[in-house]
Structure 1
Amino acid sequence: MHFTNVKGILSAQNGMNLYRGCTHGCIYCDARSDCYNTPKPFEDIEVKQNAPELLERALFLKRKKCMIGTGAMCDPYMHCEANLKLTQKCLQIIEKHGFGLAIQTKSDMILRDLEILKSINRKAKCVVQMTLTTFDDNLCRIIEPNVCPTSRRFQIIQKMKEAGIPVVVWLDPFLPYINDSFENFKSLLEFCVRVKVEGIICFGIGLTLRNGNREYFYEKLDRFFPGLKEKYIKEFGMNYEITSSNSKKIMEYFYKTCRENHILCGIEECFSFLNKFPEEQSGQLELF
């Protein structure tokens, strides 16, 4: 872990990443790709220590309230957050200024900040996004080894729903011959329907591989799924998009089930929901 001061914290789309690198150890992580210039080794976390001060100033200067996003490239609840509380400080700033929040994580540490999230949701809007990949906790501990298993994530989602906080689930990635079965996907989707999540983001049944994450992924295949790397190389070569043979059947079932249960499932409509501040949704007009 190393500390740095950065010049800015919000992107043009009002997203922020408070850390760079990750300690969750997910074997498929696209953020390891060389194109992102993330720390090497990936577990050497870069801490943007002046992020709260930058965020405070940025929100103070904004003329219009909006949604602030975090977690797209780096989970805001990595292990170091337990002591550093950088994410917690930034959530408090968002809550103080009355902005909205769309936060994405795989970690149960988010429950530590539940009261802040509830306050943000009361004042403006808070959406929690949770990634689900496999119904099998034992498999989850292999492909996502250093973060809470699926059964715990189910509990987090239920707690958020009980608190009145909308949830958007990311169903991805699905690794061919590992967690891409129809049965696995059906079990995850049935849970989402049962708890009435607001939306589900699913880009298809497969994963992406490129320089940086491909080598790490193949190393883990050799360790946990002997012989599967050779099968991948033969079937997919150096492709960036690795698509499961089950994709068509599963995606048809996905869209049909979501529409029958009034769950947002289009990529654009899910992101529209995440990005819309309440005033925009309700059609309220600003008073000048």
Structure 2
Amino acid sequence: MHFVTAKSILSSKNGMNLYRGCSHRCIYCDSRSRCYHIDHAFENIEVKENALDLLNYALAHKRKKCMIGTGSMTDPYIPLEMELKNVRKALHLIYEQGFGFTVITKSNRILRDLDLLQKINNKAKCVVQMTLTTYDEDLCRKIEPNVCTTRERFEVLKKLYDIGIPTIVWLCPILPFINDTKDNISGILDMCIEAKVRGIICFGMGLTLREGNREYFYRQLDLNFPRMKEKYIRIYGNQYEINSPDNSILMKLFHQKCKQHGILHDNRKIFDYLNAFEEKHSAKQLSLFD
């Protein structure tokens, strides 16, 4: 790891990244793309040493309460977090100042912070977003080697539901000729149904590849899926959007099963829900006459 001094911490949409880079080594990671200008080894985590001071200042000067998000570029629950505890410190600030919180992660390390997540959810709103890509545990270890498996994430989703924290699943990416099967999509959806997730985000059955993440992805294909790289190059060339040949069939299955079980599956409605701040008033509030 290495430390940097950041100029700001919240984006225009109130997202934050306390770290840059990741050690999960997911083979498809878009954050490796050169357009994000990570000018150091991706696994050499960049730590924003003044992030908490910046966050405290930003929250104190917000005119309106809102949802604060993290995890869009770097999974905040990397192993380093267990040592530095910057996410936990940020959660304290978010709770103390009455903001809502949402996070995208693949890690069961989030269980460490259940107490704070519950406190935020009792006061405002907390939503945990979990990425699921494959029902097959062995395949999961190949495409997401340094993070907990799908089964472990499923257990997290169930635990969150049990304590009243709503969950959203990201069903992506789906890698053509690797995890783009009816059995895999059905298996993931069955987990979501059992875990009573509120919604599932899916932009289609495929992935995106561009300069930086494409090269890493192809190296991992050579290591784990012999001759698959050549098949991708032959079919897709240098396309940015890589869609499964079975995209329409799998998307139909996805929408039908979500509708059948009352799971939100309209991306726009899910993002509206994630962005909507909710303040929960105590039943013990004083009346105007007290």
TM-score band by shorter chain is over 0.9
**Deviation at residue 206 of structure 1 after TM alignment:** 0.5
Residue 147 of structure 2 corresponds to which residue in structure 1?
A: 147
Contact 2:30 2:213 in 1 (8 A): yes
CA offset at residue 267 of structure 1? Answer: 1.1
Report the residue type matching 2:265 in the other structure. Answer: C
1:283 match: none
> What is the letter of the counterpart of residue 184 of structure 1?
N
The equivalent of 1:6 in structure 2 is: 6
Cα distance, 1:191 vs structure 2: 1.2
Q: State how far apart, in whole Å, the 2-side matches of 1:39 and 1:26 are.
A: 19
Q: Take 1:162 and 1:9, find their aligned partners in 2: how far apart are those partners?
A: 32
Residue 258 of structure 1 and its aligned partner are, at CA, apart by: 1.3
Q: What is the CA–CA distance in structure 1 between the aligned matches of 2:187 and 2:77, rounded to whole Å?
A: 26
1:149 alignment partner AA: T
C-alpha distance in structure 1 between counterparts of 2:141 and 2:191, whole Å: 19
1:72 aligns with 2:59: no
**Counterpart residue number, 2:246:** 246
Q: Secondary structure of the equivalent of 1:109?
A: helix
* Aligned residue in 2 for 1:40: 40
1:123 & 1:71 partners in 2: Cα distance? 22
SS of equivalent residue, structure 1 residue 135? coil
Any conservation in 1 of the 2:125–2:279 contact (CA below 8 Å)? Answer: no
Indicate if the aligned counterparts of 1:30 and 1:213 stay in contact, CA closer than 8 A.
yes
Measured after TM superposition, the shift of residue 198 of structure 1 is 0.6
Which runs of 5 or more structure 2 residues have no equivalent in the other structure? 281-290
Matched residue of 2:23: which SS? coil
Deviations 1:226-272 (A, max 9, x none): 10000000010110000001110110111122122221111111100
* Offset at residue 137 of structure 1 (A): 1.0
**Other-structure match for 1:202:** 202
3-state SS, counterpart of residue 54 of structure 2: helix
Does residue 232 of structure 2 align to residue 232 of structure 1? yes
TM-score, length-scaled by structure 1: 0.96
What RMSD, in angstroms, separates the aligned Cα atoms of the two structures? 1.0
Partner SS for 2:139: helix
Q: Aligned equivalents of 2:20 and 2:190: distance in 1? A: 34
Match for residue 214 of structure 1? 214
Shift of 1:28: 0.3
Number of residue pairs aligned between Structure 1 and Structure 2: 280
Cα shift readout 1:124-177 (whole Å, capped 9, x = no counterpart): 000000000001111111100000001100011011001100000000001111
Counterparts of 1:159 and 1:49, CA distance in 2: 32
Q: TM-score if structure 2 supplies the norm length?
A: 0.95
Give the letter for the 1:252 counterpart. K
For 1:278, what is the secondary structure of its paired residue?
coil
Share of identical aligned residues, percent?
56
Distance of 1:196 and 1:82 partners within structure 2: 28
Equivalent position amino acid for 2:81 in 1: E
Letter of the aligned partner of 1:208 in structure 2? T
Instruction: Decide whether the 8 Å contact of 1:39 with 1:45 is kept in 2.
Output: no
The equivalent of 1:285 in structure 2 is none
Query: CA shift at 1:279, angstroms?
Result: 5.0
Aligned-partner SS, 2:79: coil
Distance 2:262 2:152 in 1: 25
Name the residue aligned to 2:124: 124
8 Å contact from structure 2 (residues 120, 126) kept in 1: yes
Once the 2 structures are TM-superposed, how far is the Cα of residue 38 of structure 1 from its aligned partner?
A: 1.5
Contact 2:123–2:279, Cα closer than 8 Å, also in 1: no
